[in-house]
């Protein structure tokens, strides 16, 4: 034997000896496979909780087969059924003949949750955040003390802030079910610091009668729940305030046009809601044109929809003023009846052109989602955009009425029509421009409303009464009063909704407005100046 051959033989012997000395990696045994597949479900759950942390690769195919109801047992043997109907041994993976007496394995809900959690543990190391998020959801469904090693390992490696927050919530849920009271107290304190609706739900669930027996733990849970409720109350109050301002901005948009046609011109226009509807349908048409011809610029369709909704409603308003309302000035009852008939005609016209069903106007991507302010307070981007839009329309209309030549003519005609006519003002033309302006602003309101709900022929009917209430409450002809009345009614309505419900809140608001008008008929702000009749 040469020296080289002798050294090679010696090296091989040493390797074999060292291999024998090192314990073999864990391999799924037949007993373990049967323990999680056959027998009582509670015993299976205990066996799976002991086996899952070992990380045996052979366990994953068996768990996947269990979730797919593709496992059968016969005696102490476990078989996985393949797609073609053949069977393989669950521990070796070798093809075998399936015994005639093999029985299906049936999982109850708890067992299914445990299997999903065990499968999720392997997904927590995925590079895909979506896969990790799904794994965390699966763990949360079966969170208990046995999952803590897996959760702690995932917490140490997770970099995504949102997923970290979810993992911490799952860990607290698992700690609440721990046997050691100290660990349950630790979870209660952590949940108290988190102050989220999920934390409150976990604490309340644990405090249910019969779940928690330790007095010290119960005291910690009550203290944590009180702390969470106090912190969440601020978010709830802020949410009501925001929804009230949001509703107020919508009422303001709906009432601004009416503040001109009714407040300044004295025309009781019951078709004002239908002018809003026309603006909303104009937005729908522009959206569809962008979707068909300019899909790459779809997110910017509102830049065209806003002026188009103003022009469409303003044009209809000009036609109505020229053909109907011009002959009814100073005759409020006839104006009311005629405008009501016009509203019915416009609704039927829309039903004929677009159909009776509601149509969907889609938000641009930049208006989707919301701004997370607190754990229980998210401000939707579309609502924020409408508030900003209402403020911009208000500023624009105020400047138009107060600073422009057209605004000067409108104010002169509404205050003293004969004198304005004597000074050379074309009062008929000013009437048409003023009515078109009010109608155009109603169209802008419809454009805004299309971003928070469906658009249909009855859209305007939901806001016409509220719009008149805002104008009358604020003071006829007073734009500042319209602003205060719109925001005030929005806030009062939302605060009352939380106390009495939506229907009773509407009734109570109406009663408040009626009582207020009885005491102060001129509204919040009375028209200043001298009257010829005084």
HEC per residue, 116-174: HHHHHHHHCCCCCHHHHHHHHHHHHHCCCHHHHHHHHHHHHHCCCHHHHHHHHHHHHHH
Burial class (CB in 10 A: 0-12, 13-18, 19+), 145: middle
Whether residue 342 sits in one domain with residue 411: yes
Confidence at residue 432, expressed as pLDDT on a 0 to 100 scale: 87
Whether residue 177 sits in one domain with residue 299: no
Least confident of 54-58, 144-148, 201-205, 443-447: 54-58
Whether residue 241 sits in one domain with residue 382: yes
* Sequence-separated (6 or more) residues with CB below 8 Å from residue 455: 277, 280, 281, 283, 284, 358, 359, 360, 361, 446, 449
Confidence at residue 127, expressed as pLDDT on a 0 to 100 scale: 80
Per-residue pLDDT tens digits for 172-215 = 888 887 888 888 888 888 888 887 888 888 888 888 766 777 88
Provide φ and ψ at 281, rounded to 5°: -70, -30
Count CA atoms within 13 Å of residue 164 on its CB side.
Answer: 7
Confidence at residue 10, expressed as pLDDT on a 0 to 100 scale: 40
d(CA 264, CA 270): 16
Whether residue 134 sits in one domain with residue 70: no
Whether residue 291 sits in one domain with residue 166: no
Domain-terminating residue out of 162, 181, 213: 213
Domain membership of residue 526 (yes or no) is: no
Domain membership of residue 356 (yes or no) is: yes
Confidence at residue 293, expressed as pLDDT on a 0 to 100 scale: 92
Q: How many CB atoms within 10 Å of residue 348?
A: 12
Domain membership of residue 473 (yes or no) is: yes
Residue 498 predicted with pLDDT over 50: yes
Q: Which residue has the higher pLDDT, 55 or 47?
A: 47
**Which residue range(s) make up the domain with 46?**
25-107
Q: Give the pLDDT band (50/70/90) at residue 348.
A: very high
Q: Give the pLDDT band (50/70/90) at residue 527.
A: low
Q: Provide the number of structural domains found in the chain.
A: 3
d(CA 487, CA 473): 11
Q: How many CB atoms within 10 Å of residue 94?
A: 7
Averaged confidence pLDDT in the chain:
82
Confidence at residue 413, expressed as pLDDT on a 0 to 100 scale: 79
Domain membership of residue 5 (yes or no) is: no
Residue 401 predicted with pLDDT over 90: no
Whether residue 149 sits in one domain with residue 91: no
Domain membership of residue 122 (yes or no) is: yes
Q: Which one, of 177, 192, 101, lies nearest residue 139 by Cα?
A: 177
CA angle 179/184/189 to nearest 5° reads 170
Domain membership of residue 174 (yes or no) is: yes
% of the chain at pLDDT higher than 70: 91
The interaxial angle of helices 59-67 and 109-123, nearest 10 deg, is 140
Domain membership of residue 476 (yes or no) is: yes
**H helical segments located in 209-267:** 215-258
Q: Which one, of 465, 298, 305, 280, lies nearest residue 358 by Cα?
A: 280
Domain membership of residue 12 (yes or no) is: no
Q: Give the pLDDT band (50/70/90) at residue 346.
A: very high
Whether residue 114 sits in one domain with residue 69: no
Q: Give the pLDDT band (50/70/90) at residue 264.
A: low
Residue 55 predicted with pLDDT over 70: no
Domain-terminating residue out of 107, 139, 160: 107
d(CA 506, CA 470): 14
Whether residue 137 sits in one domain with residue 98: no
Residue 262 predicted with pLDDT over 70: yes
Confidence at residue 526, expressed as pLDDT on a 0 to 100 scale: 62
Residue 3 predicted with pLDDT over 50: no
For the segment 314-337, the average pLDDT, to the nearest whole number, is 88
Confidence at residue 528, expressed as pLDDT on a 0 to 100 scale: 56
Whether residue 114 sits in one domain with residue 62: no
Contact 175, 148 (CB under 8 A): yes
Strand pairing category for 95-96 and 377-380: unpaired
Whether residue 384 sits in one domain with residue 290: yes
d(CA 253, CA 11): 89
For the segment 380-388, the average pLDDT, to the nearest whole number, is 91
Domain-terminating residue out of 89, 107, 125: 107
Whether residue 271 sits in one domain with residue 244: yes
For the segment 334-362, the average pLDDT, to the nearest whole number, is 90
Whether residue 377 sits in one domain with residue 249: yes
């Amino acid at each position: 034997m040469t020296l080289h051959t002798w050294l090679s033989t010696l090296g091989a012997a040493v390797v074999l000896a060292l291999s024998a000395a090192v314990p073999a990696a864990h391999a799924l045994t037949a007993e373990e496979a049967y323990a999680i597949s056959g027998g009582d479900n509670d015993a299976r759950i205990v066996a799976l909780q002991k086996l899952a942390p070992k990380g045996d690769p052979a366990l994953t195919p068996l768990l996947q087969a269990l979730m797919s109801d593709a496992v059968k047992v016969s005696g102490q043997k476990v078989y996985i059924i393949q797609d073609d109907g053949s069977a393989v041994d669950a521990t070796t993976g070798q093809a075998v003949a399936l015994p005639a007496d093999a029985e299906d394995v049936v999982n109850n809900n708890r067992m299914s949750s445990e299997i999903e959690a065990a499968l999720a543990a392997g997904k927590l190391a995925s590079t895909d955040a979506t896969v990790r998020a799904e794994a965390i959801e699966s763990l949360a469904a079966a969170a208990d003390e046995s999952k803590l090693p897996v959760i702690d390992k995932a917490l140490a490696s997770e970099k995504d802030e949102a997923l970290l927050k979810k993992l911490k919530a799952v860990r607290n849920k698992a700690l609440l079910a721990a046997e050691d009271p100290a660990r349950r107290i630790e979870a209660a304190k952590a949940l108290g610091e988190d102050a989220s609706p999920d934390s409150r739900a976990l604490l309340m669930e644990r405090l249910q009668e019969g779940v928690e027996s330790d007095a010290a733990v119960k005291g910690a849970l009550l203290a944590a729940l009180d702390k969470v409720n106090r912190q969440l109350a601020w978010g709830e109050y802020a949410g009501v305030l925001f929804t009230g301002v949001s509703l107020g901005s919508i009422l303001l948009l709906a009432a601004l046009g009416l503040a001109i046609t009714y407040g300044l011109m004295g025309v009781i226009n019951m078709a004002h809601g239908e002018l809003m509807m026309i603006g909303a349908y104009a937005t729908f048409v522009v959206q569809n044109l962008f979707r068909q011809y300019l899909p790459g610029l779809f997110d910017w369709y509102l830049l065209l929809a806003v002026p188009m909704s103003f022009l469409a409603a303003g044009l209809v308003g000009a036609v109505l003023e020229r053909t109907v309302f011009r002959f009814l000035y100073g005759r409020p009852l006839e104006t009311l009846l005629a405008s009501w008939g016009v509203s019915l005609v416009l609704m039927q016209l829309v039903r004929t052109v677009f159909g009776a069903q509601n149509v969907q106007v889609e938000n641009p991507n930049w208006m989707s989602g919301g701004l997370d302010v607190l754990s229980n307070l998210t401000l939707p981007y579309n609502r924020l955009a409408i508030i900003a839009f209402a403020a911009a329309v208000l500023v624009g209309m105020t400047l138009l009425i107060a600073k422009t030549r057209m605004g000067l003519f409108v104010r002169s005609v509404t205050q003293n029509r004969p004198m304005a006519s004597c000074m050379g003002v074309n009062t008929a033309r000013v009437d048409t421009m003023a009515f078109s302006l009010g109608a155009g602003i109603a169209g802008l309101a419809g454009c805004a409303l299309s971003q928070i709900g469906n658009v249909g022929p009855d859209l305007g009917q939901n806001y016409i009464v509220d719009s008149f209430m805002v104008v009358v409450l604020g003071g006829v002809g007073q734009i500042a009063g319209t602003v205060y009345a719109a925001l005030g009614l929005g806030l009062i309505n939302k605060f009352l909704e939380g106390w009495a419900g939506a229907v009773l809140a509407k009734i109570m608001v109406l009663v408040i407005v009626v009582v207020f008008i009885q005491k102060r008929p001129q509204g919040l702000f009375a028209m200043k100046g001298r009257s010829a009749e005084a």
